Every structure is written in structure tokens, then in C-alpha cells.
Structure 1
Amino acid sequence: MNHHSLEIRELESVRDHTLLFSMLSFKAEAGTITQIGGENGSGKTSLLRILTGLAPAESGEVLWKGKSIQKGRADYAAALTFIGHLPGIKAPLTPLENLSWLAPASSQSDCIDALAKVGLRGYEESPCYRLSAGQKRRAALARLYLEKRQIWILDEPFTAIDKAGVEKLEALLVKHAEQGGIVILTTHHELNIGGANYQQISLDRSLKHDGSEIRGPENHNPENQGSTNYG
């Protein structure tokens, strides 16, 4: 994979006249996993939508290969796989039909193999409305075995997945990063990804001991584990 980086510069997001975050800056380098943290309502999903180009920021910019993602939409889209909080699975279709639709460049045999890797062997032809929430989530995540794109942006990918599935997904994220990929995700799950270049970005507002808000980012080295607060 190419060793490009995704650069976030001074983003501000407002929802319903409420400031979610401001002056948010960080860089997601090739080979890193970035976990976006924060309480419910802190703007995690809003941030991911901005990073994917699905929603505009109030101010600031997101750069890919040094160019705004708004100006280089086609190039950025070709490098991006986004799986949202809702799995995006069509209930009347089977997992195989859904995956063939979501990853049209993949062969049927590759789709079947990907479904087996996420634990859905034997469910390829079952209508998705018969599947559990965890099985639907795994059907959506099977795309990660098919689409060879550098940037993975994932909103709560561990939701409704059992322990074995969690461990397998963690290993897949680490492998993608080790191969030069970029992973940005939100999760309430405590990640077990030792060895990967890992950084945490918190959207929670931090308070000094005197009660005043900390408005700017703390220094953070993305080559080491750590966290940064914004708000």
C-alpha cells in the first residue's frame, strides 16, 4: 500500500446549534489505528461522517495526499471503506447477495470465502431478516476481506459481536495497519491491539482543576500509545 496520511486540521462541528468539538487536529498515518472516544453525544459519529465526506464541517478541513477530500472526491473514495453504525444490510437479501452488492468487483467465490471468515459459513443463502444483529454486523464486516482500500473508517464495528468475533476483528485491524493501512474507528470496546501503532482521540470536554475548559489539544506522539482531548 502507498504510505499516505489522512490529515485533520482544526475541525469544528455543530449540531442543533450545539458545539460538538472545535480546533480538532490530528494525523492518521499509514500503519496506524486511531480510536475516537467520547461520551454519547460528543460528536463521534458526526466526526466520522465528516472524515468520509458525507457531511460538511462547520470549519476546518480534511486532507488526503495533501488535498482536500472535497476537491479530490474520486481519488479519496477509491481509497476508502466506510462501515457505519447501522450495518447497511438489506433484510430481504441473503448475506451473499448483500456482499455481492456491496463489493461488486469481487467474485462469488471470494464473497463466500469472506463470509466464512466472519463465521457465516452455512448462512450464505439465508435471508438477512432471519439473522441476529451480530450476524448482520458480521455480514457487513466481510467487506473488509474483499476491498483492498487503504483507509477503513468504522463506526462501532464490535457491536453485537461475540468474543471470538471480536478477537478475529482486532487481528484483522492490526494486520491492515501493519500492511500500511489506516484504521479510524469508534468503539466502547477496550481494544487489545498490542504491537500496532495506536492513538486515541477523545472528544470529551476536559476540565482543569479550577473548572475551566481545556480548549486545545495536548501534545501527542502517534508512534506511541496515548490520548488527546478536544472540545
Structure 2
Amino acid sequence: MEPLLSVRGLAVSRGGRRAVEGVDFTLSAGQALILRGPNGIGKTTLLRTVAGLQPPAAGQVEADPDAIAYAAHADGLKAALTVAENLEFWRLVFGGPPIAAAIQAMDLGALVQRPAAMLSAGQKRRLGLARLLVTGRRVWVLDEPTVSLDAGSVALFADAVRGHLAQGGAALMATHIDLGLPEAQVLDLGPFRAVGAPLRSRAPASFDEAFG
């Protein structure tokens, strides 16, 4: 089976210095990989590189760029638009499927006419994750996707990931939360950290960090 995502000898840099190096993995349809490692080790930088938002310091990332949907810490919502309007906007951007399934999957039915500005932090996060379901893209690259979610919403998200995998998708995620996905592989980035790599604060979230 041809991999949807192949990473070979990948090294990434932050502030001109190596943060992570020597990373190898492949993801095929139906597979999930969870990145683990302490804060500051370079998980976000690696995910941004895989998503094509910055070049690798070394190595290769092989994937169809139109197959990747990247979601990070920012929810990327338009405050004046309703829940339904936000999802419809992203559906049109990516040319994905109708929004009804995404609304149901993330339990947003009672909120469809509510402006995003009036949502709680957890509701905004659920809406942000619902956008993945309207992209139609096969590879989800996710940076701490469960931030601000309660236990019930984490379970909804885990179900959405399972459904995505069952339909031939793949997922690469950095998370400290147990998502209840025993089929997911785990890659510990600790052994790959470059000696002497500086720890730097993350830059303010931009549009491409919210969704790519």
C-alpha cells in the first residue's frame, strides 16, 4: 500500500538551531501516529514542517500537499460568523463534503446559529476541530487538538479520528492526552533532540498555524 505520508531522516530547526533530527516514519490509510515528548522539544516545529509551512533542515517529507489538513493551537474562527457559516466557509475553501456530518460529529447542532464570538473556549475548539471534517483531506496533522476540551468532547474527537481512519484517512498528532486509540503508534521524540538546541517561546499564532 502506498503511504499517504512518508518522513525520512527529518531534521527541523528553531531559531537557526536544530531542534529535532533523525525522524523516520510512514503513515498509510487507516493509520495514526502520536508524537510524545516534553514541552519545547520541537513537536510543533516538526508538525509545521510536515504540513509544508516551513522547510526541513534535512531529510524529506513526501506527501501530496493537497492531502494534508493542519490544525494547531489557534481555532481560526471568524468571530462574526455563526457556527454553520464558519464551517461552510471552510468547506468552500477546501471543496469538502457538506457540513451536516461535521456538526453532528462534534455535537454542534444546538449552536449552529450562534456567532463564534459567543462560544465558550471548549465550543470554539470543537468548532475548530469540526473544520477537519469538511476539508475532505486524507492526512490530518494536529498539534495538541484537545486543548480546552472536556472529557466528553475529547471522546467526540477520538470518535471523529476513528471515523477518519476507517474511511481511509491518516492522522499525525502531538498530544499529552490519552485519546483511547490503542491502534495508534507512538513516537517519542526524546531520543531525537539535538544536543544544545535552545528552547524558545512560540511565536503568536497566525492564520496558517490555525489551519493549513
Q: One fold, TM greater than 0.5? A: yes
Q: Does 1:86 align with 2:74?
A: yes
1:201 pairs, out of 187, 191, 208, with 187
**AA of the residue aligned to 1:18:** R
Question: Aligned Cα RMSD in Å?
Answer: 2.2
Q: Distance in 2 between matches of 1:49 and 1:43?
A: 10
Per the TM alignment, residue 7 of structure 1 is displaced from its structure 2 partner at its CA by: 1.0
Q: Distance in 2 between matches of 1:123 and 1:206?
A: 43
**AA of the residue aligned to 1:48:** L
Per the TM alignment, residue 3 of structure 1 is displaced from its structure 2 partner at its CA by: 5.0
Aligned counterpart, 2:160: 172
Aligned counterpart, 2:205: none
Q: Is the 1:171–1:193 contact (alpha carbons within 8 Å) kept by the matching residues of 2?
A: no
Q: Is the 2:83–2:127 contact (alpha carbons within 8 Å) kept by the matching residues of 1?
A: yes
Per the TM alignment, residue 153 of structure 1 is displaced from its structure 2 partner at its CA by: 1.0
Q: What TM-score do the two structures reach when normalised by structure 2?
A: 0.81
1:153 is paired with a residue whose SS is strand
Q: What TM-score do the two structures reach when normalised by structure 1?
A: 0.75
C-alpha change, 1:151 and 1:106, in structure 2 (3 Å) is closer
Residue deviations 1:6-54 (CA, integer Å, cap 9, x gap): 1111111121243211111111222211001111111111111111101
C-alpha change, 1:20 and 1:106, in structure 2 (3 Å) is closer
Q: Which has the higher contact order (CA 8 A, sep 6+)?
A: 2
Mind listing any 5+ residue stretches in structure 2 that lack a counterpart?
196-212
The aligned length equals: 192
Aligned counterpart, 1:70: none
Aligned counterpart, 2:18: 19
Q: Distance in 2 between matches of 1:22 and 1:36?
A: 14
Give percent identity, aligned residues only.
Answer: 33
Q: Distance in 2 between matches of 1:161 and 1:124?
A: 19
Task: Choose 160-169 or 54-63, whichever is displaced more.
Answer: 160-169
Aligned counterpart, 1:38: 37
C-alpha change, 1:117 and 1:25, in structure 2 (3 Å) is closer
Q: Is the 1:3–1:180 contact (alpha carbons within 8 Å) kept by the matching residues of 2?
A: no
C-alpha change, 1:26 and 1:4, in structure 2 (3 Å) is closer
Residue deviations 1:114-141 (CA, integer Å, cap 9, x gap): 2233122222122211111111111121
Q: Distance in 2 between matches of 1:125 and 1:32?
A: 35
Per the TM alignment, residue 81 of structure 1 is displaced from its structure 2 partner at its CA by: 1.7
C-alpha change, 1:27 and 1:134, in structure 2 (3 Å) is same
Q: Does 1:119 align with 2:107?
A: yes
Q: Which structure has the larger Rg over C-alpha atoms?
A: 1
Per the TM alignment, residue 4 of structure 1 is displaced from its structure 2 partner at its CA by: 3.1
Q: Is the 1:100–1:106 contact (alpha carbons within 8 Å) kept by the matching residues of 2?
A: no
Q: Is the 1:137–1:161 contact (alpha carbons within 8 Å) kept by the matching residues of 2?
A: yes
Alignment of 1:1-231 (within 5 A): 3-64=2-63, 76-104=64-92, 105=95, 110-194=98-182, 196=183, 198-205=184-191
C-alpha change, 1:151 and 1:202, in structure 2 (3 Å) is same
